[in-house]
Structure 1
């Protein structure tokens, strides 16, 4: 600020001195020129009433260095000139001052010489015999005058400029020094000049506004960071050079890193050629998307450019979605297969009957096959619809008090003939009452007891035990059948999965029974487990919270 004040003051002083010098020179020039013209007019007017003869007597005594005089006849012929022989001068009748003098009694004119840098003033007066007396004086032009007095003037101007320079410097220092000592942190600041009071108030207001904006910005930044940290999706921000700006908590868990990743290259976070290429494209303004697999998990990666900041990368965990999609595709394929098998059998039997290829005594056998496959088809469709309702989260209202032992006994009665046919005994022990959907509990127990009968041995048994406490309700369905291997136990609740495919086909199973059981248990907030060994039977344990 001091330098600026000094430069301005020094500039003003220099400009002022130059302007004053120029004005004085111009005034002096005009004063000198006016005085010279007045002297010529005064001398010429002394001869106004004389004739050329008498004027000639006096004009011969005028020295050329005083002024130049010429005597010119009425016809423009030069009769006398005290500086040049009259015979060497031409006709002067067309001269401006001569024409005015002959017509008006007196005349004047100015002629400039750019070569010599001079200005000549002519004044003419008509004498009594109509001849013309002309006087003239040559003075330097204003440019020539400047040239003559320039050295002295320049020296004086330079002297004043130097004086002004040191004065301006000292004055600027005295003006600025109190301002530099102002404590702007005070509220309001104590200023040395009244002129700065409004400026100081403005600074205080701006400082207060900046502090408020800083607090709001920090609050907003903290809010954004808190939101990012609460997001399940991993979020990583990169600057325009591809350097990591921020990593939220989810992304830190995905890549097993922390805040130390900030400021590092993208390659230190994820060494993937496809990701590096997508990131470069995003830095050029193009959105990108890819699938990244890491530690048995699958992520959908969205790479979006952020103008003037860099790139935002989102890691969306789609593992469950991918698994669900895989299960859906497998389910669709299995449904198609399971539907095709009975329909093909029905179609083949009907085709043979309609073509008259079956003997009359064999027709009941074919009708029985058609009815059996149709029954299997209906059961399959009902199971699929049941699973669909459970997948949609519509298990019904759980407000009914269900007697578990009563429902289990109803299932045993319904399967009594089947148990007798397989030579399997079924027993129910214990009791318990819980709030549940009675129809779904019946479906669950029916499927478990039915499986225990179908996959049992002749002379075997199925035991249903119900145990209820304040903490939970436990239902155990065990059998003495063929058992399940450890490998099959991991997949037994998958749709259409059969541990013994040949026996399942013969028994008419759809492969959906245990999947339905698991969905019913989960719909009631419970859990189910299976144990057993091949040849030693199987045990299903269901636990419902109290």
Structure 2
């Protein structure tokens, strides 16, 4: 009974943290979008000013889209059991789909993609696209423009190995200790969001572990590497407990 009460209290704490994050974080981009739209429609602005306001609207809308997608996925993971609909998928197809939906600022980074011809795994393709989207967006948001982002994939025996590598400032030890925890507060800036709602990397970890895989964060000189290993084979339909 004590364990159940503690678990329920923990769930309530997570929900309260999520609601606080939503109320604060969604208000800011919505206010920015509304103010920018009003200025664009009511003021005589120069071409440079119009471009700046339009860019701001685009960036805030993109962040809102990513946040909503993560929240929708979180609602799915909130069930006690989630069925993974696995099939044989090519990693290059997953990366291609992810790149079609990531932050538009990806165009400001040279992309280096190296996927082995036999890099095929028995995975839930839709969830793995979300994994790649979050990792690529993380690299885009936290590295200087013009620095390369590398995506590497290979088959190593019975495992699919994926690396997402950037050349940003890296992650200090305090951040690394709780890097994959959800609901980061602004007083502790995590690598998966410039605002306080840290959902992206936590969702990545949940999805990878649901596939019986592992994810680690490695510091490089310079930059960071997120290293994922996933089983290449498994049962076609598998029910897995998501621990979020």
Band the TM-score falls in, shorter-chain normalisation: 0.7 to 0.9
User: What is the aligned partner in structure 2 of residue 359 from structure 1?
Assistant: 44
8 Å contact kept, 2:17–2:183:
no
8 Å contact kept, 1:402–1:433:
yes
8 Å contact kept, 1:429–1:466:
yes
Cα deviation per residue 1:249-297 (whole Å; 9 max; x = unaligned)? Answer: xxxxxxxxxxxxxxxxxxxxxxxxxxxxxxxxxxxxxxxxxxxxxxxxx
Residues 1:469 and 2:154 are matched in the alignment: no
Residues 1:541 and 2:218 are matched in the alignment: no
Residues 1:401 and 2:81 are matched in the alignment: no
User: What is the aligned partner in structure 2 of residue 456 from structure 1?
Assistant: 143
CA distance, structure 2, for counterparts of residue 333 and residue 403 of structure 1: 39
| SS across alignment from 1:450 | helix
Going from structure 1 to structure 2, the CA distance change for 1:523 and 1:412 (only over 3 Å counts) comes to same
8 Å contact kept, 1:387–1:519:
no
8 Å contact kept, 1:408–1:445:
yes
Within 5 Å, give how 1:313-324 maps onto structure 2.
316=3, 318-324=5-11
Going from structure 1 to structure 2, the CA distance change for 1:393 and 1:522 (only over 3 Å counts) comes to farther
- 1:364 Cα offset (Å): 6.2
User: What is the aligned partner in structure 1 of residue 238 from structure 2?
Assistant: none
Cα deviation per residue 1:340-398 (whole Å; 9 max; x = unaligned)? Answer: 111222343456567x5x22545665455445433432332222112111222575542
Going from structure 1 to structure 2, the CA distance change for 1:468 and 1:412 (only over 3 Å counts) comes to farther
CA distance, structure 2, for counterparts of residue 419 and residue 373 of structure 1: 15
CA distance, structure 2, for counterparts of residue 447 and residue 502 of structure 1: 11
8 Å contact kept, 1:462–1:478:
yes
- 1:538 Cα offset (Å): 1.6
Within 5 Å, give how 1:232-243 maps onto structure 2.
none
User: What is the aligned partner in structure 2 of residue 495 from structure 1?
Assistant: 182
CA distance, structure 2, for counterparts of residue 538 and residue 394 of structure 1: 32
Long gaps (5+) in structure 1: 1-232, 234-299, 301-315
Going from structure 1 to structure 2, the CA distance change for 1:509 and 1:428 (only over 3 Å counts) comes to farther
CA distance, structure 2, for counterparts of residue 468 and residue 385 of structure 1: 33
- 1:412 Cα offset (Å): 5.1
User: What is the aligned partner in structure 2 of residue 236 from structure 1?
Assistant: none
Going from structure 1 to structure 2, the CA distance change for 1:435 and 1:490 (only over 3 Å counts) comes to same
8 Å contact kept, 1:398–1:435:
no
8 Å contact kept, 1:395–1:437:
no
Residues 1:391 and 2:56 are matched in the alignment: no
Going from structure 1 to structure 2, the CA distance change for 1:493 and 1:360 (only over 3 Å counts) comes to same
Going from structure 1 to structure 2, the CA distance change for 1:360 and 1:461 (only over 3 Å counts) comes to closer
The structure whose RCO (Cα within 8 Å, separation 6+) is larger is: 2
Going from structure 1 to structure 2, the CA distance change for 1:367 and 1:529 (only over 3 Å counts) comes to closer
8 Å contact kept, 1:404–1:434:
yes
8 Å contact kept, 2:150–2:166:
yes
TM-score using structure 1 length: 0.36
CA distance, structure 2, for counterparts of residue 513 and residue 416 of structure 1: 13
User: What is the aligned partner in structure 2 of residue 13 from structure 1?
Assistant: none
Residues 1:374 and 2:61 are matched in the alignment: yes
Within 5 Å, give how 1:66-465 maps onto structure 2.
300=2, 316=3, 318-349=5-36, 356=42, 358-359=43-44, 361=46, 365-366=52-53, 368-392=55-79, 397-411=84-98, 418-422=105-109, 424-430=110-116, 431-457=118-144, 458-465=146-153
CA distance, structure 1, for counterparts of residue 131 and residue 192 of structure 2: 21
8 Å contact kept, 2:119–2:155:
yes
Q: CA RMSD in A?
A: 3.6
Going from structure 1 to structure 2, the CA distance change for 1:367 and 1:459 (only over 3 Å counts) comes to closer
| SS across alignment from 1:456 | coil
CA distance, structure 2, for counterparts of residue 440 and residue 503 of structure 1: 17
TM-score using structure 2 length: 0.72
Long gaps (5+) in structure 2: 234-244
CA distance, structure 1, for counterparts of residue 67 and residue 147 of structure 2: 29
| SS across alignment from 2:204 | helix
CA distance, structure 2, for counterparts of residue 544 and residue 388 of structure 1: 24
From the CA coordinates, give the structure whose radius of gyration is larger: 1
Residues 1:478 and 2:165 are matched in the alignment: yes
CA distance, structure 1, for counterparts of residue 91 and residue 191 of structure 2: 33
Cα deviation per residue 1:287-309 (whole Å; 9 max; x = unaligned)? Answer: xxxxxxxxxxxxx3xxxxxxxxx
